[in-house]
Structure 1
């Protein structure tokens, strides 16, 4: 495991070997995790050797300060390491120092005081409009039962056409669609209520499902039912989407929640303002909605170039 020379004293290296063996024999961590921790601590000790200008001693580990850890992370970042890599580096160092501390051999206060580097937020992965529309059509569904195909299409249509969370769509009742409404009252996270427009295509998809479903639907009961007549579970829709990915050649990023992302992204691309999209999505904070500005930067720049008076 240690093919690269580490300029540290034998006593420290022996302790490090014991720690790595403990990760394997007692904690039973995966091999790739142990290998990563070995590499991370090796790189840290090599850096520390240059930092103290001599072979590393156990006393050097005991005397580590947050500034020393920050210097190492800065060194790694300068070498091109990203936030996720730095976070893993810190996890390996922290594990080793805590192991030493439990044996009364070192003080891990310095590394405990360090916070992991802030991880970048992953941007939503929207579908293109053609794929989103295909998922919303009953004739695209794979289900053999016409009513189940209509059900899946109606759910997907509500996710994309109204920007609903899957739990919100599955929480709807037949009463919500009585009298051909033009909007839906949705209760989302934190019991926050919002009004979302109901597109004619989404209403038609729901009505097609209601016409075909073989079970009696109670007005205040669940609208969407499973094959055995019980309330439809989100796992079933997740599974149906997985099958559709293969049939339509979609990426692994095509999930039910991606349809909600697509709703927001396509509205923004068409000139929708963030405040309105925030209300439609039911986000408590505008900062949550602003992630979509990173998805469609090209469109924003196009609008800026066309509209700014100093262009």
Structure 2
């Protein structure tokens, strides 16, 4: 299993910083309902691209304020058998209102077939193309962090910078080990320097 990193071998950042995340969100809000909600879901849940493609109306709890994701990383129970792991990630009410309005989630919940159909019936390549196009529109430089994975890492950094306990970040991101989540705490120092530089600039 390869070790998760926040910088590549050349020292390039692999996550979107706070300014880039804000620019991406602003650009996403100028898009069609499908593309906007897709990007907002990546932004607010920190999910993997493949996990987003499995989200159905049944997994969005409008009253509870969460989106439930199925972790696609292989996990095993004590006996070594594969097990399915779900996690509920809290999200802002404004985002849920937009998601419901754009995709008719309350109405879809009345039909078992619609409730269990993917909200975004597209493939991973198309998802990647949408995210890349919007990141370009947002002015995010052509660098290793301009990707859906960069958004996921940005979510982890943002949560840590804002004081969310690591065990909660671990739960929301679906990490099996807390040591994986701890890389975000290690990166906070550099992110805080960036924030301080803007404060004094």
Q: TM-score, normalised by structure 2?
A: 0.71
User: Is the Cα contact below 8 Å between 1:164 and 1:260 reproduced in 2?
Assistant: yes
Q: Which runs of 5+ in 2 are unaligned?
A: 8-12, 75-83, 105-110, 194-201
User: Is the Cα contact below 8 Å between 2:24 and 2:135 reproduced in 1?
Assistant: no
Instruction: Provide Cα deviations, 1:40-70, integer angstroms capped at 9, x if missing partner.
Output: xxxxxxxxxxxxxxxxxxxxxxxxxxxxxxx
Q: Could you say what secondary structure the match of 2:114 adopts?
A: coil
2:43 is the alignment partner of 1:160? yes
Counterpart position of 1:256: 148
Counterpart position of 2:77: none
Q: CA deviation at 1:300?
A: 7.5
2:114 is the alignment partner of 1:222? no
In the alignment, the residues of structure 2 paired with residue 192 and residue 159 of structure 1 have an alpha-carbon distance, to the nearest angstrom, of 19
In the alignment, the residues of structure 2 paired with residue 256 and residue 182 of structure 1 have an alpha-carbon distance, to the nearest angstrom, of 23
Q: Could you say what secondary structure the match of 2:69 adopts?
A: strand
Q: Which has the higher contact order (CA 8 A, sep 6+)?
A: 2
Q: How does 1:1-311 map to 2 (within 5 A)?
A: 121-123=5-7, 125-137=14-26, 138-141=28-31, 149-177=32-60, 179-188=62-71, 189-190=73-74, 191-211=84-104, 218-224=114-120, 231-252=121-142, 253-298=145-190
Distance 1:220 1:294, change over 3 A: same
Q: CA deviation at 1:283?
A: 0.3
User: Is the Cα contact below 8 Å between 2:59 and 2:69 reproduced in 1?
Assistant: no
In the alignment, the residues of structure 1 paired with residue 127 and residue 42 of structure 2 have an alpha-carbon distance, to the nearest angstrom, of 11
Distance 1:195 1:180, change over 3 A: same
Instruction: Provide Cα deviations, 1:252-292, integer angstroms capped at 9, x if missing partner.
Output: 32211211111110111111221111111110011111111
Aligned-residue CA RMSD (Å): 2.8
Distance 1:292 1:140, change over 3 A: same
Would you tell me which structure has more strand in proportion to its own residues? Answer: 2
In the alignment, the residues of structure 1 paired with residue 88 and residue 4 of structure 2 have an alpha-carbon distance, to the nearest angstrom, of 32
Q: TM-score, normalised by structure 1?
A: 0.48
Number of equivalenced pairs: 167
Would you tell me which structure has more helix in proportion to its own residues? Answer: 1
Q: Which runs of 5+ in 1 are unaligned?
A: 1-117, 142-148, 225-230, 302-311
